[in-house]
Chains A and B, each alone.
Chain A
């Protein structure tokens, strides 16, 4: 059992969720409420990670974040080592490929808040921030919750992009999914089996717990 890989995966999923939670709320709300030219294009961009093969995405991320890219160069100058093949690089990739999982359900959640209810909040003297906190977020919460669960579970299961971006450096970029692949390649079927079962259990638990929780929130609201 590769505990290091398991914890790395959980840490990666946790950090991805932490970064994407505010992004999903702000971008999801923005896309839900604003009509503008090119909105369809923005929505299509957000959905792109869902349809592209992970290898294609990994390839572009490698180019975008590599040592010779502007982002990679700035990072190298600031931190002293390169971005790809590190945990930070993996996190950056994970955040980008999870955008669709984080934004789409949150957007649907905010779209479900009736426009009169938002207007009523403003007419009750609530500033946009207060309205978000006291009215919109509690009502859009099931959508935001779903977004975070999907992001967490999808990060645990991500394989292709991580293989392209991170290689398999223990403690840095070897996540549980990569570790399982390595075990199978090394014909350690028993080890791969234990880790696969653990991953199944964790994912199932996370999703079930969240759905139970959001059902309770739903009952509280109705």
Chain B
């Protein structure tokens, strides 16, 4: 059940993109507002038809301008979570979910309550959208999209209308939900943190054109790919396990290379998480430094040095079986005489990791294990 998309148009915005999302895969379309990523999502849903386009799911053609095929949205089995949720205001949560089911669905109420339980909202089934918080509305919208039994699930900036604390919780919920989803999922976002924490693969869209496509780890390590989004977004995901919450407001985690101290994060000891470490926040040292305020010193080996177009380079450092990235100047690399295979220490300030740069590790299933490039420890 893979989703194939090709779209080309000259107006109203130029489009030139083709990509594929595999079954069970979460593909993030990232780009600035106005880059055309939402237009691509709308093309998949049938809400927009570019001049030349083809959309097929599992061999079933939804749109093929060359062949004159264009199924209307209601004939495409697609689940869409809209930016501002777009719930039906006159229906309760459970009625919203039932509204998306086929009319001959057996016991719709039971199925709707199952879906609301899946998004952690079982007790608010009979509330109207106006009586729900932004995060709760978003959960109803996800349940409604799933009620359609979609062949593709589309998420259009689904976290932009909720506050930051809610967003952190929703990230974890989406990650947990992934274990139940067999269809391709396409997430549209301008937030690189969100893309890195949630996506298996990333497609970067700039002015309607696909500029880079690859696994999340590949794209997030590539300053060229991220030029439009800002090279300061270059970052690695470090898998870790929560060990204990300390009295001084820090949480001690265990990463592949040793202990990691971060400002208090949610989660019981034993919880597997992934920590997003921004490359430009990382300092490298040849010897293990002493008398330093930074709490996290990770010992590793240089596995590669990737030059950018500017004065900076990205140094890949293997720590345990994970990799972190350091964005340093070319001059620093020359002064240190760094080369592949050299032992280095990567220094990460505790305070440089924002709370929403940490998310639960995905629940690993056989299929997802092989997809992910960085497996948790």
Contact = CB atoms under 8 A, between A and B. Distances in A.
Interface of A: 114, 116-117, 119-128, 130-131, 134-135, 138-139, 220-222
18 contacts: A117-B87, A117-B88, A120-B82, A120-B87, A123-B46, A123-B47, A123-B73, A124-B74, A124-B100, A124-B144, A125-B100, A125-B102, A130-B74, A135-B90, A135-B99, A221-B89, A221-B90, A222-B130
B36 to A, nearest CB: 18
B256 interface: no
A4 B147 CA distance: 57
Contact of A119 (B82, B99, B128): B82
Contacts of A220: 90
A126 B89 contact: no
Given A119-B73, A138-B90, A124 B99 contact: yes
Given A139-B90, A220-B90, A221-B89, A122 B99 contact: no
B88 A123 contact: no
Nearest to B82: A116
A123 B80 contact: yes
Interface of B: 45-47, 72-74, 77-80, 82-84, 86-90, 99-100, 102, 128, 130, 144-145, 147-148
A123 B87 CA distance: 12
Given A123-B73, A125-B74, A114 B86 contact: yes
A87 to B, nearest CB: 39
Given A134-B99, A222-B130, A121 B88 contact: yes
Contact of A117 (B46, B72, B86): B86
A-B interface, 7 closest residue pairs, ranked by CB to CB distance from nearest? A124-B100, A116-B86, A122-B73, A120-B86, A123-B80, A221-B90, A138-B90
Contacts of B102: 125
Contacts of B82: 116, 119-120
Given A122-B47, A123-B45, A124-B148, A117 B89 contact: yes
